[in-house]
Structure 1
């Protein structure tokens, strides 16, 4: 270990950059679908050594050197973790293939700026001994929080998912949330950098390892509770696996018939069709037309769905004077009538709206998702009410990856919901690691809030998740499938759901104070 640390600390030039890049890339193995959490020891341990080797003639020269190493480590992490974004540019290759490097390399390069900032902040607090591990945790945790908020935020593959992707360790999110897990992830996975640094550092290493044991014990004990179910609810999730090139207005009748046919498919002697289920869930953006303006399609849905209540993604139009607004919505349909709807609030950049639209249009880059015009964001969160179900908290697409937005909207809701309903279309990303990462992050919202999650994804992965984050039933990726199951009961409010601002902030302040005070006993 000492040999490796010296090699990294003394590395210069491209050797140093490549060490940072590949260590970051290795860290992605801790994420879904691999979920090999020990892999995260590599980038965090190397991060300590890289900052150890960031000496300069002046203090600020050392900070710049650390920031450069942080950028390369972040670049490796995000390229390896987000390469699948390139698949979206090939869906309509004749229009978007030229921009593929912007997604595969450009976005990771931008996100790596936050990792660079985290390294710089850590270097400002750096000191010998175990306290520098706390400095790294304080710096990177602050940077990851900023990444989740700046320019609408993009917390995809937050460092906390190294723990959050493991069901046992993820239980700590019920107390600390994702950003609290980020503090713990950096702190614990950087601890091997202390090996061979004296008796006090060995003592500190033992304390960090004890932290893993405590997290594991907490998770194991919490997972002893059995899943309970809501009586009388029989769910059917439809995964139609519609390819993006099939999503066309001239195929509207075929697409609708496909969904209705799948909804009425027999799956067992007990479930011979839609008449044997109470609630059906279709995925995001099912229709290449405005459903509310198509009474014929609504009538067909009403006659074929019988008494089942349907939740489905559907674009919605709203006329305001001479202007028409379009929303990516989730509708509740009963007997052919739209009873409730929710408009997506956190739109996906480039997918549902174009930042700097006029500038990008000049170079031929337009939004990917079908819409009569650019989507507008919904103005407020709302619970959906449907017969036979407790209140439903809707999440459309990647709204499920924002822990604080989910917590904020739930805290402002008129009542505690009985489930979260996540509809999405990850078909843009093919059979890659992306949809698995999306599922893993959505699952952590269930743990944080103590709420079950029902998830319908056009191409997968669809799932029923209990409030402990256990996936009770799921589909495979990239296939047509039907998923039948019961609805798990919600738990009482978790500590995080009640103190979602305070809990991660306290965790961060503790590591910050240790980094600044530098107690001698560690």
Structure 2
């Protein structure tokens, strides 16, 4: 027996590098299941492969296999970040590949953690592949939630985003959020693997369960789409996509060219009540530039408003504070309201531990941006209440709107010019669509170089301007739906899902253990 055990250990050790390689490939394949590819059939291929590979593994081997899956997932999925380093290639170009590789290795910790949890508790469910796949889904969703909250959080490319491009299948996020949608995707994705591992007579159960999960999600989604159709508020929008290259935006003397471009696009024939410019559309302190304010007022019809991104600064006793802001102006050029971005991009808008780390931030400016106080609802004359979300902020489920003052729509001003024609802007748009579903609110997105879009409360894209396009979108503001369960309770709904699943798993484990105990007792008797 001892020799056999040693042989098993030796065999597992030799198989580990192969499993890690296959896991990395499966992780990369999982990226093809999310936008812009949205090859949904790859979800079961990726997660069933992982499910089969992590059966009966030690915690350490489980971590390495899960980490390898994450390395493939993030190495491919966030490869677009390298584009931002080449905007100023002379200073930052050499950091592109090491930074993406390092960040991917760190983020891969979370899939590794998910598999460690799975390996720990799967000892109780390993002989029940259906229960085992349910366990993997809960562990994965929990690890993704941690990824979205630890340190500054980075909930990018959640597993549930594989369902974004499928109208009915993304709707369950209205009840359980995007992390809950990840649970559905991974649980269902692992079921074909459960069928593969099950004894032949039990295999149909896994496949029937797979079909049942998909059908239930689709049916719930179709019910939501068909019900509670909102009325439009009667507000006409004009979104402006100036398409100003990032490497030109802050060049001395470029401000006049940028402003003229936005003014000319804004002044095209057509009627609008709200004019929407993207993040830092004005490369300067607009509220301090009276001449620019007068020129903007000249393109605004009477009663119309402008919402635009622009830097802001405030003098304090401790010095000048700089903000990445969104500002509202009326047709007289008077500033009505402002919002300061509160969830800043590490190393892009500020340097964490700047007194200790020998790095400089990648964006132009006089100093690190300071964070704003948090989500805010803006009340503007003649316009529905609006929640502001600047660029990166739209990726955070449950942290976009002020729960105490529910808005009627969400305005996402962004600048994805840093990422060129990569897959990054499409993935960013997918996050915005999921916030619309979760909150039951339309999301309007103005981007400097794209993708600008009008998204209704079901996450459907009604209008869009693709990356690299210069132009405008004239469209009515879609209506808001009633507050969703997720908008009311947030990620507590995920906790309910996970707790329910674990109570179920505990129950079937206890029931399964009872006959074995009786059998041992009878044998002793």
TM-score normalised by the chain length of structure 2: 0.90
1:58: which partner in 2? none
2:170: which partner in 1? 170
CA distance in structure 2 between the aligned counterparts of 1:77 and 1:114, rounded to whole angstroms: 11
Aligned residues: 493
Say which is worse superposed, 228-237 or 74-83, in terms of deviation. Answer: 228-237
Shift of 1:10: 9.8
1:468: which partner in 2? 458
2:295: which partner in 1? 300
Q: How does 1:423-434 map to 2 (within 5 A)?
A: 423-434=413-424
Shift of 1:324: 0.9
Shift of 1:231: 4.6
Give secondary structure in 2 for the equivalent of 1:16. Answer: helix
Shift of 1:163: 2.6
CA distance in structure 1 between the aligned counterparts of 2:71 and 2:258, rounded to whole angstroms: 40
2:327: which partner in 1? 331
Asked if the contact 1:45/1:192 (under 8 Å) is kept, the reply is yes
Shift of 1:282: 0.3
CA shift digits 1:300-345 (9 cap, x unpaired): 2122324321000011111112411111010001121111000001
User: Which of 339, 343, 362 does residue 342 from structure 1 map onto?
Assistant: 339
TM-score normalised by the chain length of structure 1: 0.90
Shift of 1:39: 0.9
Give secondary structure in 2 for the equivalent of 1:168. Answer: coil
Shift of 1:166: 2.7
Asked if the contact 1:23/1:46 (under 8 Å) is kept, the reply is yes
RMSD across aligned positions (CA): 2.0
1:34 aligns with 2:37: yes
Structure of larger gyration radius: 2
Asked if the contact 2:82/2:100 (under 8 Å) is kept, the reply is yes
Shift of 1:11: 7.3
Distance 1:205 1:510, change over 3 A: farther
CA distance in structure 1 between the aligned counterparts of 2:449 and 2:501, rounded to whole angstroms: 41
Asked if the contact 1:164/1:173 (under 8 Å) is kept, the reply is no
Unaligned runs of 5+ in 2: 1-10, 513-525
CA distance in structure 2 between the aligned counterparts of 1:45 and 1:518, rounded to whole angstroms: 22
Asked if the contact 1:240/1:481 (under 8 Å) is kept, the reply is yes
CA shift digits 1:103-153 (9 cap, x unpaired): 321111100001101100000001222221122122211111100000110
CA shift digits 1:334-393 (9 cap, x unpaired): 1211110000010111111111324443xxx32122222100000133211223211001
CA distance in structure 1 between the aligned counterparts of 2:404 and 2:228, rounded to whole angstroms: 29
Asked if the contact 2:176/2:491 (under 8 Å) is kept, the reply is no
1:210: which partner in 2? 212
1:367 aligns with 2:357: no
Distance 1:396 1:287, change over 3 A: same
Could you list the structure 1 runs, at least 4 aligned residues long, displaced by more than 6 angstroms after superposition.
Answer: 8-11
CA shift digits 1:441-496 (9 cap, x unpaired): 11111111111111101111111111111111111111112111001111111121
Unaligned runs of 5+ in 1: 1-7, 55-61
Q: How does 1:286-297 map to 2 (within 5 A)?
A: 286-297=281-292
Shift of 1:9: 8.9
CA distance in structure 2 between the aligned counterparts of 1:437 and 1:9, rounded to whole angstroms: 37
Asked if the contact 1:426/1:435 (under 8 Å) is kept, the reply is yes
Give secondary structure in 1 for the equivalent of 2:382. Answer: coil
